[in-house]
Amino acid sequence: MTRTDQDAFGWLGILRLGLVQAALGAIVVLTTSTINRVMVVELALPAMLPGALVALHYAVQILRPRLGYGSDLGGRRAPWIIGGMAVLGLGGVLAALATALMASDRLLGTALAVVAFTLVGGGVGACGTNLLVLLAKRVDERRRAAAATTVWIMMIVGFVVTAGIAGHYLDPFSPARLVLVTATVSVIALAVTVAATYRIEGRASLPTADAAAPPRTPFREALAQVWSEVRARRFTVFIFVSMLAYSAQDLILEPFAGAVFGFTPGESTRLAADQHGGVLVGMLLLAGVGSTAWGRRLASLQTWTIIGCLASAATLFNLAAGGLLGADFPLRTAVFALGVANGVFAVAAIGAMMGLVGKGREQREGVRMGLWGAAQAVAYAIGGFLGTAAIDLTRALMEAPGPAYAFVFAAEALLFLAAAGLAVRVTRAETTATGAVMLNPSAAAETA
């Protein structure tokens, strides 16, 4: 059924899905940050344990294409969003219980934590994938940049608000308080999700009486069909490479500030705030420009994605130069500029993803979005590790820390340049496919 203007989401619909993303972020921040800290500090467990559990929750998200396929079969996304949030909440509560159990029985607690973080990854995959598909299918092109910014910012708000409130109620700390706070946040998040998605799909998502039922293609065949689409395949590779570069910088910026510039822990934390502030500015900048007629004439979201990659590469090369220059380098300004470039890239990439998810074979939007989500999750799972491992290796080979960090930042910049090249190829595939359909409309279902 073709979407009509009446089916398109207004700002109220976008904000409702933003609330779901905020609820998702609220549970995730407890499992990946708060519980992480409790394991390492209060329980004195090896940092490798929570690191492996967080990596597990990313690895499980390789199932995103299958989770998207499930919603493609029924044509409705809201049940999968609610179900995913329920699984995520259950995983969060079990993670808190597992952490409390580790105080008395580490082996049993660790086993329960593996189950919990598996559920967390599955819940994030089911909820997040189908939320983005619903957003992509129901938001007009002129609002996509602003919608992506709104949903991303509301997720960050979920991080911040939950961290602040939960932090208040966790003191004085006890394992029982951790479980109670996590359970309360999970119940509230599920309630918000149910309320926010109530009748959000309306009648538009339901098949008409004379509509043919979608073919029940086996999952492997559906995935192969999507992978055979040139646009989808190239965009998958682009997502992986760009997110590898994006995530690899996260765990080395603050150590870089301390080792090369002598920043104290407090100063390096403020440096992270500068970076995230820059990300917010970049997002708002692109959302403002992209939502105007002038901005859409200036460049498409796919072109802004290329610009964001090139700007991110330039700012990383700048940081590499800072590693060689040392104390006289304006580090905080450079990190803020990196944040702005990353913000432009992130919003443009999400907006382009929303625009491309419906391009190709019909009834494959969930598989397509799931494939891209899986690529992002895998990149995140290995990106942080590769960044820190590269620092360890270069520090072992070089006497001074500055050149070691400069080498790694330059390598990340090259990854962003490679991502820009891949984005150009995606744009060319889009142009070629559009031209092919115009010349031969019967090829619409086969073009990539």
List, as one string, the DSSP characters of 189-221: HHHHHHHHHTTSSTTTTSPPTTPPPPP---HHH
Per-residue pLDDT, 149: 80
The mean predicted confidence, pLDDT, of the chain is: 84
409-438 tens-digit pLDDT: 999 999 999 999 999 988 776 656 555 444
Per-residue pLDDT, 274: 85
pLDDT, greater one: 163 or 441: 163
Per-residue pLDDT, 374: 92
Of 20-24, 47-51, 58-62, 85-89, the poorest mean pLDDT is in: 47-51
Short-list 282, 255, 289, CA closest to 271 = 255
Per-residue pLDDT, 323: 92
Topology, domain 219-439: Growth Hormone; Chain: A; (1.20.1250)
Average pLDDT over residues 61-85: 90
Per-residue pLDDT, 298: 55
Average pLDDT over residues 242-266: 85
Question: What does DSSP assign to residue 33?
Answer: I
Q: Record the tokens describing residue 307, joined without a space.
A: 């610009």
Q: Crossing angle, helix 253-261 and helix 301-325, to 10 degrees?
A: 30
**What are the residue boundaries of the structural domains of the chain, listed by start?**
12-197, 219-439
Average pLDDT over residues 55-69: 91
Q: What is the CATH number of domain 12-197?
A: 1.20.1250.20
CB 355 within 8 A of CB 218: no
Of 55-64, 66-75, 265-274, the poorest mean pLDDT is in: 265-274
- Per-residue pLDDT for 55 more than 70? yes
Residues 6+ apart with CB under 8 A from 426: 231, 234, 235, 238, 302, 352, 356
Counting residues of the chain whose pLDDT is more than 70, the rounded percentage is: 88
Short-list 86, 82, 80, CA closest to 64 = 80
CB 283 within 8 A of CB 416: no
Per-residue pLDDT, 432: 60
Q: Record the tokens describing residue 373, joined without a space.
A: 């989500």
Q: Sorting pLDDT into bands at 50, 70 and 90, what band is 173?
A: confident
- Per-residue pLDDT for 99 more than 70? yes
Q: Are 12-197 and 219-439 equal in CATH topology?
A: yes
Per-residue pLDDT, 393: 87
Per-residue pLDDT, 406: 93
Average pLDDT over residues 178-207: 85
Q: Sorting pLDDT into bands at 50, 70 and 90, what band is 296?
A: low
Per-residue pLDDT, 309: 96
Of 243-252, 302-311, 414-423, the poorest mean pLDDT is in: 243-252
Residues 6+ apart with CB under 8 A from 256: 319, 323, 401, 405, 409
322-381 tens-digit pLDDT: 999 988 899 999 999 999 999 999 888 888 888 888 787 777 888 999 999 999 999 988
Q: Sorting pLDDT into bands at 50, 70 and 90, what band is 444?
A: very low
Q: Sorting pLDDT into bands at 50, 70 and 90, what band is 297?
A: low
Average pLDDT over residues 86-90: 97
- pTM, entire model: 0.79
Q: How far apart are CA 72 and CA 364, in angstroms?
A: 6
Counting residues of the chain whose pLDDT is more than 90, the rounded percentage is: 40
- Per-residue pLDDT for 321 more than 70? yes
CB 356 within 8 A of CB 232: yes
- Per-residue pLDDT for 89 more than 70? yes
- Per-residue pLDDT for 23 more than 60? yes
Per-residue pLDDT, 6: 45
Measured CA distances, 1 to 40, 76, 292, 361 (Å): 52, 13, 29, 14
Q: Which residue has the tokens 């009748």?
A: 199
Q: Which residue has the tokens 């520090």?
A: 395
140-161 tens-digit pLDDT: 877 777 788 888 888 888 877 8
Average pLDDT over residues 68-72: 87
Of 29-33, 129-133, 139-143, the poorest mean pLDDT is in: 139-143
